[in-house]
Amino acid sequence: MTKLSVNINKIATLRNARGGNQPNVIKVAKDIERFGGQGITIHPRPDERHIRYDDARELTKIVTTEFNIEGNPIPKFIDLVLETKPDQVTLVPDAITNITSDAGWDTIKNKHFLTEVIAEFKRNNIRTSIFVDPVNEMIEGAKATGTDRIELYTESYAKGFENGDPEKAIAPYINAAKIALKNDLEINAGHDLSLDNIEYFKKNIPGLLEVSIGHALICEALYLGLENTIQMYLRKLQ
């Protein structure tokens, strides 16, 4: 079964919009685990516009499943990861001004930088993953950095699926997964995955260990309820 890690950034966005502590990010994380979620993902950004660095510090005390922190490895982020020691860190090359992640790493151009950062995390027993596009050279480049996993950036798959051509949309991801497995890299995936497209993706991607889903899941939960939505994802990921 592919594990479901729920990204709770949007819960923090809602909290921050009003001030105070409603909804309570810590309580929601506990509830997600109680409802069957197999991991909690956060993506703190330097301006802390949703998840705050202090949220990460509090979450590391209470998450009992898998705790995954993702983000651009600027010094402040690296310090946070080394302080909180999550189960996994996912490196994402998003600019400070980005609304959301929009590309994977150029693992060839950034090989030296990524290798150094990954080595530091692995010295601290933190599993590492690199956000990558489904491009053979980028996956082979990821292998050279020493990372444990890749996270396939799935926006183009989601758009292709929505446009009615799932076979064409999934093809580069199937090939990317085969290249990753050939290079002994474990596979995660995320971005724009939803109840509509997750089952087809799961069925076609060999070796898919984990998906990280936030925006779509929270939007769906507004209509379906959080517990019910999580259970629906789990059934599709079996």
Largest CA distance in the chain: 49
DSSP state of 131: E
The yes-or-no answer on residue 70 being catalytic is yes
Catalytic residue among 50, 191, 210, 220: 191
Does the annotation mark 191 as catalytic? yes
Active site residue 215: no
For residue 4, the tally of other CB atoms under 10 A from its CB is 24
DSSP, res 110? T
Cα separation, 32 vs 67, whole angstroms: 12
- Dist. CA 67–CA 59, nearest whole Å: 8
Say how far residue 231 (Cα) sits from the centre of its chain: 19
6: helix, coil or strand? strand
Q: Which of 33, 50, 66, 70 is catalytic?
A: 70
Q: How would you label 44-69 residue by residue, b for 16+ Cβ within 10 Å and e otherwise?
A: bbeeeebbbbebbeebbeebebbbbb
Q: Tell me the residue type at 96.
A: I
Phi and psi angles of residue 151, each rounded to the nearest 5 degrees, phi first: -115, 115
Tell me which of 33, 43, 50, 66 is the catalytic residue. 43
Q: What type of residue is 67?
A: F
- Please answer whether residues 195 and 231 qualify as being in contact, where contact means their C-beta atoms are separated by less than 8 angstroms: no
Residues belonging to the active site: 43, 70, 191
